[in-house]
Structures are given as structure tokens and as C-alpha cells.
Amino acid sequence: MAALTLRSAAARARGAALSGGRWLGTSSAVETERGRGREKEEERAGSSGWELSAAREYYDYRKSIYGDVTHRALLVDAVGTLVVPAQPTAQVYKSIGEKYGVKYSEDEILMRYRRAYEQPWGGSRLRYVDDGRPFWQHIVTSSTGCSDAQYFEELYQYFMTEKAWKLCDPDAENVFQALRKAGVKTAVVSNFDTRLRPLLQVLKCDHWFDAVAVSAEVAAEKPNPTIFLKACELLDVKPEEAVHVGDDRRNDIWGARDAGCDAWLWGSDVHSFKEVAERIGVEVTSK
């Protein structure tokens, strides 16, 4: 935040110089800046107040239609919302890859990984087909420069284990129990290969969900509305009766809304599954 403030001050200084003014730091200039700061704070407060008011109005609107529980179903993204890697991916690629001759640093592996992941995948219109091996072989080779089949297999198997992942929210199990007890149906909606189901079993959270819509099985990846509609079909609810929670604005929020679902951005609109439940209208008691 301090860096941002300094950059903003520098930008204003450049603007003053270009317009023929001065940036002397006199008391009057300081007071002017303080005034501007107060104005911006008031603007932010006003904006925040408007957003809260709009959210409350929408909540009241949903309650008027659906009652105290505003959604019949909760759809949840997997990676980045339900679970995250226990260690940074680049660190895992490097630590396992060293015995196979991988020389790149973690920063280099991360840069190459992002570049490869963001490129169009030529093997199929979908990245994750069946077990996803061709796609992941491409990613691993591109990220590390190592095409050793044994190295790839060790990495591939590692990411099917409990030690490779952790829950984003330690209290998630308690929340999902409360949601299902209240009659809210739940599903995972994820761009993933066919390892997702056994992975959820390994992490002991598969029983939290009534359905799983995984792109490798549905043959559609978020933000394609098809995968959200499939999840709603599996839960026997209408899209407008469901809310999807995910951490990617494009894939999760825009995709879900295109399908007709409500959508909340994880880490922005909501920060825990207890908050999700409360917004739906389900009370969660602490254990």
C-alpha cells in the first residue's frame, strides 16, 4: 500500500512538472494533498456503502422469492477455492526434478509454466481429456525442459496424494454439513482431469458433495456454461436457484452467470465457507 501511495505521489509530481507547476512540499501543498486524500476516502466510503446497500437489496430480493434460504444449491470450484497445492507447484517440479537433471530455478520454472499453460493447447479443444496425461506432459516438459517419462510419472502420481493438497478453509466440513442439513444441495464444478474424484476421496471431502461436474467428463471447460448447467442437472435444480463460488473472475463468475447462476468471487465477495453459508441464509454453529 505504501508503494502504491509513493507511486501515486510520483505520478502527481510528474503531472505538475509537465503542466508547468511545482512540487515543493510547502504547507499549503500538503494541506491540498490532505484535502484530496479526504475526498478520495469519502468517495471510497461512499462506493463501499453503495455496494453494501446493493448487496442487501439483492439479498432481500432473493429472500422475497426463495424464503430465508436464498439458494437451493451451492456450486464450488476445486483448485483455488476448495483446495490449494500444499507447496508451490514450481517448488515441487524442481525438488522432484533435480534427480532427473532439471536445472531451472523455481522462478524460471514458474515463468515457463505460466507461459505454457496460457498458450492454446493444440492436442484438443479441451486441455483435460480423460486423465489429462498428454496435456500435463506438455506442461511439465515446457516448464522444466525435462521429458523423462519417469519424472513425469512421479509428478503425476504425487498430485494424486493427500500431501500434495490442503483445504483452503479448515472449517469447511462443518459448513458443508450445515448446508446439507438445511437442504442446500452441493456440487464441485472444476476444470480438471479424471483424477479429481479419487483426489476428493483421498482428501476425505467427497462425501460433502451431492455431485461432481468435472470438465474431463462433461467435455466442457469453464467458462463454458455447459459445465454449470450439467452441475445443476445433476442436482436437479434450476440455474437461477444455484450460486457458484470460485476464485477466477472469468472462469467462475462470468461463466456461472452466463449459465444463469448467481456467482460470488472467492477472496473478494466471500472469504470463507461460513460466510458463504450465512449469505445463503444458513446458520453455522462452531464445533
Between 35 and 192, the higher pLDDT residue = 192
Q: What is the pLDDT of residues 227-276, one digit of tens each?
A: 999 999 999 999 999 999 999 999 999 999 999 999 999 999 999 999 99
Q: Residue 50: what pLDDT?
A: 57
**Cα-based distances in Å from 179 to 7, 213, 280, 285:** 45, 19, 9, 11
The answer, yes or no, to whether residue 127 has pLDDT greater than 80, is yes
Q: Residue 58: what pLDDT?
A: 76
Q: What is the pLDDT of residues 204-229, one digit of tens each?
A: 999 999 999 999 999 999 999 999 99
Q: Residue 2: what pLDDT?
A: 37
Read off the pLDDT band of 12 (50, 70, 90). Answer: very low
Between 185 and 128, the higher pLDDT residue = 185
**Cα-based distances in Å from 53 to 50, 57, 58, 142, 242:** 5, 6, 9, 48, 22
Structural domains of the chain sorted by starting position, each given as residue range(s) with its CATH number in brackets: 52-83+165-280 (3.40.50.1000), 87-162 (1.10.150)
The answer, yes or no, to whether residue 87 has pLDDT greater than 90, is yes
The answer, yes or no, to whether residue 76 has pLDDT greater than 90, is yes
**Cross-strand partners of 244:** 75, 263
Q: Are 228 and 239 contacting, i.e. CB atoms less than 8 angstroms apart? A: yes
Residue 77 is placed in which grid cell?
Answer: 470450484
Q: How far is Cα 165 from Cα 3, in angstroms, rounded to an integer?
A: 33
Residues 165-185 have a mean pLDDT of 97
Residues 29-50 have a mean pLDDT of 48
